[in-house]
Structure 1
Amino acid sequence: MSDWQQRFDDRIMRSIGRPLAKLEHGTGAWVTDAAGTTYLDFLAGIAVNSLGHAHPAFVEAVTAQASKLAHVSNYFTTEPTLELAERIVRLAGAGSDGRAWFGNSGAEANEAAFKLARLNNSGGARTRILALVDAFHGRTMGSLALTGKPHMRAPFEPMAGGVEHIPATIEALEASIDDAVAALFVEPIQGEAGVVELPAGFLEAARATTERHGALLIVDEIQTGAGRTGEWFGFQHAGIMPDAITVAKGIGGGMPIGGLVTFGRASDLFQKGQHGSTFGGNPLATAVSNAVLGEIERAGLVANAAARGPQIRERIAAIGSPLVGGTRGRGLLIGVALTEPLAGEVVAHSMREGLIVNAANDHTIRLAPPLIIGDAEIDEFAVRFARALAAAHAD
């Protein structure tokens, strides 16, 4: 065991496993560890580092804002906070009645959305909240109650009441929603389940059914937002308008930030004093998020994600590995389906090849590279991933 691994084992809470490496610095899609090994980063901090590492727009925003104001509490506001609210409402297409609330993480965003759902109950009869089997919405108590993975919830039962998990089918959707449902939570793509897309027509049916029964449709865009799927937000592929979305990860490009964006009538549900966050919407985080989203717009990175995703999937298919059963996902959120439960081995061999990927489960490799990637990075990925697949298959 190396010195840093021993230090980790001695002092870091055992809620997470031992890290794969101790990273020190990065540039673009590349990152270097303490031993001097450089890796091609095709995970981007789990779909967080939209602009890669140490992008000038990110660095300049941190430096400029830190020299002015970093934190003011929610008794005050600042220009970066107002600008980000206006920007994210615009990008989401929420319209003139759209509103935003900012916290510090995706889990906090979903906690806020959980409370929003509870507020959709003016008559007192809406006691049910629906989410999907295999969904992942976070690890805090409210977001964990929404998470459709029993093994994650079991150690912490009892959960917040009223949440039911239904299969991701249109039939189950239409059979489950009635006038007692306050809200339906969905991810456009279930990233933690193995980059699993919803069935064709599901979001459209969810919108029609929730609208008919007065329930809120809340779309978790934490992993699919900020242009990752080839649209600004995953729901936009379906051409629908939800009542609210939750955002985090890629909107900050590495700066911790999360948020809730509301549409239409949902924008009037929260009243003064019903929710807040000491650090939420601080000027440092919002200034950086403005810079990240502004650079994604300026550089056309949403279109880049839409183009590069199919390119990567074609390169994976061309490898011809018997371990690869296919790919799924949209844009730069890609799941590689394995024919054998060897995802952990593929990750380990990828690390040896200087490539960072992720095992979403035993049969799925998840890819979520920075939105800035181009031909050179994809060529290098294909070479290294092919060697990792071959080594895992030979074990």
Structure 2
Amino acid sequence: MGNYLFSNYARKPFEIMEGNGCYVTDNHGKKYLDFTSGIGVMNLGYNRAHLNQVLAEQAQKIWHTPNLYENHLQEVVAEKLIQEKDYLAFFCNSGAEANEAAIKLARKATGKSQIITFTNSFHGRTYGAMSATGQSAIHTGFEPLVPGFIYVPYNDFSALQEQISDQTAAIMLELIQGEGGVTVANQEWIQQIVTLCQEKKILLIVDEVQTGIGRTGSLFAFEQFGIEPDIFTLAKGLGNGFPIGAMLGKTALGEAFGPGSHGTTFGGNKLGMVVASEILDSLSSEILVASQQRSQQLFAGLNKIKSDKISEIRGKGLMIGIELQPDISVAEIVEDLEAEGLLALRAGANTLRLLPPLIISEEEVTLGLEKLTKVLEK
């Protein structure tokens, strides 16, 4: 390949050329069962005829109109996301942008500057989202960061309480830390945070960029925790490969984002909106129920693997982390799986991350488990 790109990605020596359902094929003709979903993006799988069709139909009409004019498709998608809940939506192009919007809204609505996030969190690579991210490796070389962010240990309420001040605008968290190693929030801890936020009039921001759009078995992960955050963010699965982000905030916060307060050139463009609308229609309760059955099948199969390489298996829905022993290289395991025709991811310090499409079949889960068993028991 040429040398015209920055080397900020450690790329694999193959290119994915096409995809169908839960499979992709590379430039050497090798076929892989994809347990990455393009890092949690292709929730409905590859090359879906109905998604291709709505995108092609809209492309024949108009690709782009600026946000100076009405956009009925944004209203349609917002209504499908909000359902009967009390939110307003803002559309952008990525998870990082959605989190930037959430951070700006929280500061503007409260008039306070401090935002508490968590160690090993990941919220994006733009300056605000990177500053919200509790990983020093992602900050290195980019200081000074945006001020006002405090990082506390995940699932530790007393450590959080110690950092609350009269300048705390918001607490921002993932209900499952994806990039940080597929660490699931403790239910009791989340309830304590909700109570604290209500008592102290602090906004709760939930980053659902990776956990949203059915990934954990419900449309949003927060539904399984029995909460309604003040602000939440979406991207990844919302566009099934088309770049879309969304920030949703409680209606009461609407005044803080008046005309001219925040904006985007491409956010909420009509190509993205028709795709998102079709995805939300397609993400039926049948798919969510089936994905939960496949989740149970996958967890059951993983727990049967007899391997001293595994230290812990955790996750929710089809967002699964296999923590490996410290002396095992997750990068080598990922390579061995690729040789077997299975794509997987790494996360955190030493976690093998599995994010198969929600449409995966029973037979495909069985096949994936066979490949995982072969590599992990080797």
Out of 324, 347, 352, the residue aligned to residue 310 of structure 2 is 324
8 Å CA contact retained: 1:23, 1:34:
yes
Structure-1 residue corresponding to 2:76: 83
**1:112 is the counterpart of 2:101:** yes
Structure-1 residue corresponding to 2:324: 338
Structure-2 residue corresponding to 1:47: 40
Q: Report the 3-state secondary structure (helix = DSSP H, G, I; strand = E; otherwise coil) of the residue aligned with 2:140.
A: helix
**1:249 is the counterpart of 2:249:** no
Q: Report the 3-state secondary structure (helix = DSSP H, G, I; strand = E; otherwise coil) of the residue aligned with 1:183.
A: strand
Aligned length: 376
Structure-1 residue corresponding to 2:215: 228
Structure-1 residue corresponding to 2:110: 121
Structure-1 residue corresponding to 2:5: 12
TM-score, with structure 1 as normaliser? 0.92
Alignment of 1:255-334 (within 5 A): 255-297=242-284, 300-334=286-320
State the 1:109 CA deviation. Answer: 0.4
State the alpha-carbon separation in 2 of the partners of residues 196 and 47 from structure 1. Answer: 16
State the alpha-carbon separation in 1 of the partners of residues 189 and 13 from structure 2. Answer: 37
8 Å CA contact retained: 1:343, 1:361:
no
Q: Report the 3-state secondary structure (helix = DSSP H, G, I; strand = E; otherwise coil) of the residue aligned with 2:63.
A: coil
Q: Which amino acid in structure 1 is aligned with residue 254 of structure 2?
A: S
State the alpha-carbon separation in 1 of the partners of residues 296 and 165 from structure 2. Answer: 39
* Structure 2 runs not aligned, ≥5 long: none
Deviations 1:201-256, CA, capped at 9 Å, x for gaps: 12211111112111110000000000110111111111111101010001111110
Structure-1 residue corresponding to 2:339: 352
8 Å CA contact retained: 2:305, 2:377:
no
CA RMSD of superposed structures (Å): 1.4
Percent identity over the alignment is 35
State the alpha-carbon separation in 1 of the partners of residues 66 and 328 from structure 2. Answer: 48
State the alpha-carbon separation in 2 of the partners of residues 20 and 312 from structure 1. Answer: 29
Deviations 1:138-187, CA, capped at 9 Å, x for gaps: 00111000000011112100011111111121112222223320111000
Deviations 1:280-321, CA, capped at 9 Å, x for gaps: 000100100111121112x62222222221210111121212
**1:152 is the counterpart of 2:135:** no
TM-score, with structure 2 as normaliser? 0.96
Structure-2 residue corresponding to 1:57: 50
8 Å CA contact retained: 1:203, 1:235:
no
Q: Which amino acid in structure 2 is aligned with residue 331 of structure 1?
A: G
* 325-334 or 14-23: bigger deviation: 14-23
State the alpha-carbon separation in 1 of the partners of residues 92 and 19 from structure 2. Answer: 27
Deviations 1:55-78, CA, capped at 9 Å, x for gaps: 122111211111112110111233
Q: Quick one: structure 1 residues 357 and 143, their matched pair in 2 at CA, closer, same or farther if it must change by over 3 Å?
A: same
State the alpha-carbon separation in 2 of the partners of residues 61 and 77 from structure 1. Answer: 20
